[in-house]
A and B are shown apart, each in its own frame.
Chain A
Amino acid sequence: MDTRDRNTDPAAQGAMIPDGAILPTDPILTDVRETIPGGPPAPGETTAAKGTEKIRTPFQESLLRLWRDKRAMVCAGIILFFVLLAVLGPLIYQHVGGTFQSSINGATPSSVYHNPFHQELDHQDEFASGMYWLGTDSVGRDLLARLMQGLLISISVAVLVEIVDIVLGITIGVLAGYFGGWIDQFLARFTDIMFAFPGLLFVILLTGIFGTWADTTLGNIPIIGPNGNARLILVSLALAFTAWPLMARYVRGQTLQLKEQQFVEAARTSGASSAQIILRHIIPNLLSIVIIASTLNIANTIVGEAGISLLGLGVQSPGSSLGLMISDGISLIDSHPWEVLLPSIVLAIIVLCFSFLGDGLRDAFDPRSKD
């Protein structure tokens, strides 16, 4: 009962529709006059379709706010750099450097010795050089190549996990929030169980139990299968399994709130079915919270995958993962510290960047949460 015209908060004045929005010579409202010039074309001029330019949606406003957030943009830039490095890097690196004479393998072109799986046993634990830009590990593998491979793994896992997370989270979250009933009960009990379990422990359990099975059956899937990456799918599924209940909870909460909004009631009054209401009004208004939650979850996923691989349950040699590299390099921390520092620093940076980006997203899409 207390809502006055909120749009006149002095700190929130913006470009409001001038009262040229009210027709000047409307037969119904003869007492309302056209006032501010610069509005729509005068009656008599043809409006055609020209007058209907789009202005920014609230979503676009949020994106603009994000664009202005320097810290978030820097982090997004770094993430983009890492992504490009992981995807395009190997392709470029393959052709850098000439053929070199290996004492073991004979003439070795750069496409071979810059391959993350190729072992040059003559050049073990080397520091950065012209040939090996970041040095080699204890079996002569190019560290930069392994780093890029590891990044690719991390990012692939993160993307895969997020897709499952988002799809499952939104579906179950919206259904639970909108309809309640047994779906809601199921979600509630399921999340209770998942939260009671330490997440990493659960993933370890899953990978431990199904690890060898994954190697044999999934190992035959092309591209991702060989080179110890079969486990990747398992790890991704395990991480997704533990992540989606939280997303569903967020979505459910937001759905409950949206359900009570008058525009949802208005949609029902306009004859929309539940499906139409969910697709048209609820899900689009959930996007901000989903974007924020998934960005922050990516940070968790990357750490999770690294942790699993470090424990030896994820990506196996000869495959590469940031976690695996760390585990390989730990024993050499006194003699060849860069072998463990390199992957650790990269891991730290990328996780921090996702966290700051998530923070920035939250500020951009939900500025009230800043106070």
Chain B
Amino acid sequence: MVQEVETPKQAGTTLVDVKGLKVYFPIKGGILGRTVAQVKAVDGVDLFVRRGETLGLVGESGCGKSTTGRAILQLIKPTEGSVKLDGVELTTLSPNQIRQKRAEMQMVFQDPYGSLDPRYTIGQIVAEPLENFHRGNAKSLQDEVAGLLEVVGLNPYYVNRFAHEFSGGQRQRIGIARALALHPSFIVADEPVSALDVSIQAQVLNLLGDLQGKFGLTYLFVAHNLSVVKHISDRVAVMYLGRVVELAKSETLYELPLHPYTQALLSAIPVPDPEIESKRKRIILEGDVPSPVNPPSGCNFNPRCWKAQAVCREIIPPLEEKQSNHYAACHFPG
């Protein structure tokens, strides 16, 4: 189990505490629609996010990172496990209570095109959360919305325009303005820049960083691009097939990855530098990611791991602190 460790530099309290999170999706089959198998999207995840910090959650497709983010926000109901926001257990709340809690936890979505309703102006889109919680009358809402648009770098002049008139990067800013509307303390950013062009990614990443400083936000940054995640996160958790396999500070993760999967992941990332590229020793993994319906026994990375031994097939390695503040789920780390 991951323990909360206060580092001298950031004595922030824990805002989000996740223990033993599991999200299983049933697969129905047969005439009677019985559950014949389960997709183990999230299979026992522990993590915590301190107030004011950014925890990066990284992994490839199918690893369960998006599902984890949604399960924390209770957009997907966890099958098992505990999620505490500021000390309050979320998994046992009624739907109405969760709705109330939404004001404290928000999300920035991946798809700049699908996340904004095409029938509404951006002013209406940003105002919707405020209307849902009855935060003010028509006049004060107008001012509030204008303020939010400015904060994300959009000119309030365009408040009555429709979403389709904006570019991808601008649309993501609108989504961020919407997420900020209720002044949440915690924001899950689910691949917020993956659908954007490279030069626009930089704009939006800078914006997210600045907003964090300005409003004291806490982020869970979910993405598959390790360079992006490393840049914006204080700590990074690497996921593979539903479990966290490594958790450490950003620099430490890059400099000294302990888990073989992290090592393979880092070695696979193309670096924009031909010198380095020509000299690197690449770890090329064999085969494909196994299906989350039928994960391998024991450590779920063992079929592709070059270090695998018998114990790896039998015992699931727990996520333990292997070095100071550096956790890994591996029998043979390093």
Contact = CB atoms under 8 A, between A and B. Distances in A.
Direct contact, A vs B (beta carbon within 8 Å) = yes
A47 B157 contact: yes
Interface string B225-242: 000000000000000000
B298 interface: no
Interface string A260-285: 01110111111111001000110011
Interface string A51-68: 111111111000000000
Interface residues of B, number: 59
Given A1-B224, A26-B150, A58-B118, A269 B113 contact: no
Interface in A1-55: 1, 3-7, 15-17, 20-23, 26, 28-29, 31-32, 39-41, 47, 51-55
B119 A59 contact: yes
Contacts of B132: 270-272, 276
B195 A28 contact: no
Interface in B99-134: 99-100, 102-103, 106-107, 109-111, 113-119, 121, 128-129, 132-133
A57 B115 contact: no
Given A52-B157, A262-B110, A270-B132, A16 B119 contact: no
Contacts of B210: 28-29
A28 B149 CA distance: 12
Contact of B158 (A3, A7, A17, A28): A17
B114 A263 contact: yes
Contacts, number: 142
Interface in B204-229: 206-207, 210-211, 214, 224
A103 B127 CA distance: 76
A328 to B, nearest CB: 49
Contacts of B116: 263, 266
B334 interface: no
Contacts of A20: 155
Interface string B132-169: 11000000000000000011011111111110111111
Contacts of A32: 153, 203
A3 B150 CA distance: 27
A22 B167 CA distance: 12
B200 A28 contact: no
B312 to A, nearest CB: 30
Nearest to B156: A47
A191 to B, nearest CB: 19
B170 interface: yes
A91 to B, nearest CB: 40
A285 B197 CA distance: 29
Nearest to A52: B160
Contacts of B195: 3-5
Contacts of B158: 17, 21, 40
Interface in B158-187: 158-162, 164-170, 175, 178, 181-182
B157 A28 contact: no
A21 B161 CA distance: 11
Contacts of A261: 114
Contact of A7 (B110, B168, B178): B168
Contact of A5 (B107, B150, B168, B224): B168
A97 B118 CA distance: 56
Given A17-B158, A21-B154, A266 B115 contact: yes
B208 to A, nearest CB: 11
Nearest to B159: A52
A43 to B, nearest CB: 10
B155 A269 contact: no
A56 B115 CA distance: 20
B305 interface: no
B75 interface: yes
Given A265-B75, A266-B178, A271 B103 contact: yes
B264 interface: no
A7 B109 CA distance: 18
B57 interface: no
Contacts of B103: 271
A268 B159 CA distance: 22
Contact of A29 (B114, B182, B197, B207): B207
A51 B156 CA distance: 9
B167 A16 contact: yes
B263 interface: no
A5 B200 contact: yes
B99 A23 contact: no
Contact of A58 (B73, B99, B111, B162): B162
Contacts of A55: 160-162, 165
B61 interface: yes
A4 B197 contact: yes
A39 B170 CA distance: 15
B164 A23 contact: no
B116 to A, nearest CB: 6
B119 A272 contact: no
A58 B114 CA distance: 14
Contacts of A1: 61, 194, 224
B268 to A, nearest CB: 15
A22 B114 contact: no
Interface in B38-76: 61, 73, 75
Given A271-B129, A284-B119, A31 B206 contact: yes
A215 to B, nearest CB: 47
B197 A269 contact: no
A28 B153 contact: yes
Given A52-B160, A271-B99, A5 B165 contact: no
A271 B102 contact: yes
Contacts of A6: 113, 168
Nearest to A20: B155
Contacts of B117: 263, 267, 281, 285
B196 interface: yes
A78 B159 CA distance: 41
A55 B162 CA distance: 7
Given A40-B158, A285-B119, A265 B113 contact: no
17 contacts: A3-B113, A4-B197, A5-B167, A5-B197, A7-B167, A7-B168, A16-B166, A17-B170, A21-B154, A23-B153, A32-B153, A53-B160, A263-B114, A263-B115, A265-B75, A265-B115, A271-B182
A-B pairs with the 8 shortest C-beta distances? A270-B129, A40-B157, A262-B115, A271-B132, A262-B114, A271-B102, A3-B195, A263-B117
